[in-house]
A and B are shown apart, each in its own frame.
Chain A
Amino acid sequence: MSLLRQRRPVVGTGSGRLLDQEPADAAGVRLREVSKTFSRRRRPGRTALDGVSLDVEPGEFLCLLGPSGCGKSTLLNILAGFVPADSGEVLVGGRPVTGPGPDRGVLFQTPMLFSWLTTWQNVLYGPKARGTLTPQVHEEAERLLETVGLADARDAYPHELSGGMRHRAAFARVLINRPGVLLMDEPFGALDAITRAAMQRFLLELWQQQRMTIVFVTHDVEEATLLGDRVCVLSGPPGGTKAVIDIDLRRPRSYDDTETLEFVNAKRRIREVLER
Chain B
Amino acid sequence: MTATEVPQAVSAVTGVRPPRRRRSWRRVWMGVLALALTGVVWQIAAVLIGDSVTLPTVPETARTFVKYLSTPYPEVQGKTLVEDALISTGRILAGFVLGTVAGLLLGASMAGVRLVRELADPLIGVMRPLPPIAFIPLLVVWFGIGEVSKVALIFFGVLPVVTIATLGALDAVPAELLHASRSLGASPVYTMLHVRLRAAVPGVITGMRIAMGGAWTSIIAAEMIAATGGVGFLILQAGNYLQTPLIFSGIAEIAVLGFAFDGLLRLLLRLADPTVRR
- Interface residue from A100, A108, A173, A205 paired with B3 (Cβ < 8 Å): A205
With a cutoff of 8 Å between Cβ atoms, the chain A residues found around residue B76 in the complex are: none
By beta carbon, the residue of chain B nearest A170 is: B180
Contact with B along A100-141 (1 / 0, CB 8 A): 111011101010101110000000011101100000000000
By beta carbon, the residue of chain B nearest A77 is: B179
By beta carbon, the residue of chain B nearest A167 is: B10
Known: A100-B182, A164-B9, A254-B2. A112 touches B176 (CB 8 A): yes
Q: Are B7 and A194 in contact (CB under 8 A)?
A: yes
How many residues of chain A are within 8 Å of chain B by beta carbon?
A: 60
Complex interface: stretch among A195-203, A217-225, A238-246, A261-269: A195-203
Q: Are B180 and A108 in contact (CB under 8 A)?
A: yes
Q: Are B10 and A164 in contact (CB under 8 A)?
A: yes
Cα A254 to Cα B9 in complex, Å, equals: 17
Known: A80-B179, A108-B180. A101 touches B185 (CB 8 A): yes
Q: Determine whether B273 belongs to the interface, using a CB cutoff of 8 Å to chain A.
A: yes
By beta carbon, the residue of chain A nearest B185 is: A102
Q: Determine whether B48 belongs to the interface, using a CB cutoff of 8 Å to chain A.
A: no
Q: Are B180 and A106 in contact (CB under 8 A)?
A: yes
Q: Determine whether B63 belongs to the interface, using a CB cutoff of 8 Å to chain A.
A: no
With a cutoff of 8 Å between Cβ atoms, the chain B residues found around residue A153 in the complex are: 15
Known: A80-B179, A100-B183. A149 touches B10 (CB 8 A): yes
Q: Determine whether B195 belongs to the interface, using a CB cutoff of 8 Å to chain A.
A: yes
Cα A157 to Cα B273 in complex, Å, equals: 10
With a cutoff of 8 Å between Cβ atoms, the chain B residues found around residue A126 in the complex are: 184-186
With a cutoff of 8 Å between Cβ atoms, the chain A residues found around residue B26 in the complex are: none
Q: Determine whether A160 belongs to the interface, using a CB cutoff of 8 Å to chain B.
A: yes
By beta carbon, the residue of chain A nearest B273 is: A116
Q: Are B14 and A254 in contact (CB under 8 A)?
A: no
Q: Are A254 and B1 in contact (CB under 8 A)?
A: yes
Q: Determine whether A162 belongs to the interface, using a CB cutoff of 8 Å to chain B.
A: yes
Known: A12-B3, A162-B13, A198-B7. A116 touches B198 (CB 8 A): yes
Q: Determine whether B134 belongs to the interface, using a CB cutoff of 8 Å to chain A.
A: no
What 6 A-B pairs come out closest when comparing CB atoms?
Answer: A102-B185, A12-B3, A129-B186, A126-B184, A8-B6, A100-B182
Name 11 extra pairs, CB < 8 A, besides A7-B11, A130-B186, A160-B17.
A4-B17, A6-B10, A80-B179, A108-B179, A115-B199, A115-B275, A129-B184, A195-B10, A198-B6, A201-B3, A254-B1
> Can you list 26 pairs linking A and B with CB atoms under 8 Å apart?
A2-B17, A4-B15, A5-B14, A9-B6, A80-B179, A99-B182, A102-B184, A102-B185, A106-B180, A106-B183, A108-B176, A108-B180, A112-B176, A112-B179, A115-B273, A115-B275, A116-B199, A116-B273, A116-B274, A129-B184, A129-B194, A130-B186, A149-B11, A157-B275, A192-B9, A198-B6
